[in-house]
Amino acid sequence: MPDWIDPDRLLVLASGNAGKLKELSSMLTPLGWTVRSQGEWKISEAVEDGLSFIENALIKARHAARCTGLQALADDSGLVVDALSGMPGIYSSRYAGPDADDKANNQKLLQALRGVAGPDRAAHFYCAMVFVRHAEDPAPLISTGKWPGRILEQPRGEGGFGYDPLFWVPGNQCSSAQLPPEVKNSLSHRRQALTALTGQMKDEFRN
């Protein structure tokens, strides 16, 4: 480990997603944290067998902490649709099957909502974010974020990923896929959860 890295302020992100690493680093680096991806340790993916976003985020954070011996941070997020009793929920990334791509997931969602009128197509993106000091941490820091909207009847926009083309953002009168990236990132469920979590971390690690 380089001499300039404070081992007490080093944490592993339980994800190999470069976008997540960049976003987290931009908020945590000014607070004195060094964030590294679990990909640097070639860690296998955790088995996400929880029944909620918070449970799965905890599973991923504990797994990363156990494999590296470091403090760890993880998030779990997805789309919650009221008319579908919360589905696709924790299965958002694999709604149409374990190897499904975004197009297949979106098509399945549209089919599931066929015949459901606009006012009843309410939905929200949800994110749970967890920080553990070690793998057996009994009092992890937990935050959540919620981004409300509704599901369109057909895709709009070319940006974003996942369900963004189907997610209507009332306050901006466009789909999430039509938002400039910087606007989306300022509104998103993940940004809300991250802001809340970094606030907790700042309070706990003042010195």
Residue that has been written with the tokens 């993940």 in this structure: 190
Q: Checking DSSP bridges between strand 10-13 and strand 34-37, what pairing results, if any?
A: parallel
The number of distinct structural domains making up the chain is 1
Q: Is residue 2 part of a domain?
A: no
Distance (Å, whole) CA 186 – CA 189 = 9
Task: Please pick, among 6, 76, 99, 102, the residue that the annotation labels catalytic.
Answer: 76
CB 65 within 8 A of CB 12: yes
The DSSP output letter for 104 is H
- Residue 61: inside a domain: yes
The tens digit of pLDDT for each residue in 15-40 reads 888 878 888 888 788 888 999 999 99
Q: What is the pLDDT of residues 88-134, one digit of tens each?
A: 999 999 999 999 999 999 999 999 999 999 889 999 999 999 999 99
Across residues 183-200, what is the average pLDDT?
A: 93
Phi-psi category of 204—alpha, beta or left, where left has phi over 0 and alpha has psi -120 to 50? alpha
Which of 4-18, 62-76, 142-156, 185-199 is predicted with the least confidence, judged by mean pLDDT?
Answer: 4-18
Whether 1 is in a domain gets the answer: no
In angstroms, the CA 24 to CA 26 distance is 5
Q: How far apart are CA 169 and CA 61, in angstroms?
A: 30
76 is catalytic: yes
What CATH number is attached to the domain comprising 171?
A: 3.90.950.10
Residue 53 scores a pLDDT above 50: yes
Q: Give the DSSP letter of residue 19.
A: H
Question: What is the pTM for the complete model shown?
Answer: 0.91
Average pLDDT, integer, range 41-55:
94
By 3-state DSSP, what share of the chain in percent is helix, strand and coil, each rounded to 5? 45, 25, 35
Domain residues for 23? 7-204
Residue 1 pLDDT level (bands cut at 50, 70, 90): very low
Q: Is 170 inside any structural domain? A: yes
- Beta-carbon contacts of 160 under 8 Å, excluding residues fewer than 6 positions away, are 176, 177, 179, 184
d(CA 59, CA 135): 9
pLDDT of residue 2: 47
| DSSP class of 66 | H
Average pLDDT over residues 38-44: 92
